[in-house]
Amino acid sequence: MSFVTAEIDSGLATLSREAADAADFGIVKVDDEGKIELYNKYEAELAGVTPAAAEGRNFFTEIAPCTNNKLFHGRFKSGVEADELDTEFNYTFTYKLRPTNVAIRLKRDKESKSNWVFVKKK
């Protein structure tokens, strides 16, 4: 069962910054190359990176380089290429923080052609 609420899951095409910031999990919207378009408050606090510092930068190589591997970035790239991405897995963030166990959901919203990384600390 996903930690992403049904309200957010079904409204990705029109998700506002306010709604994203109110969520009790990390929400990162990225383009097909991984450039961050939205970085919510939960994720900023978890990672210690402000939205202003994260947005416009590459999630996989600049903000969370510990995700730039086959397990995480590889799944993302394959899903974007196939235009079919909706997967969940457990992961351990190691960049800039003590090892932090999280649940990850990667999703591509076909309606808006947007990509999402959802993060929930375990």
Task: Dihedral sign for Cα 29, 111, 76, 106, please.
Answer: positive
pTM attached to this predicted model: 0.95
Q: pLDDT per position in the chain (122 positions), as tens?
A: 589 999 999 999 999 999 999 999 999 999 999 999 999 999 999 999 999 999 999 999 999 999 999 999 999 999 999 999 999 999 999 866 689 999 999 999 998 999 999 999 99
Contact 55, 34 (CB under 8 A): no
Cα–Cα distance measured from residue 39 to residue 79, given in angstroms and rounded to the nearest whole number: 21
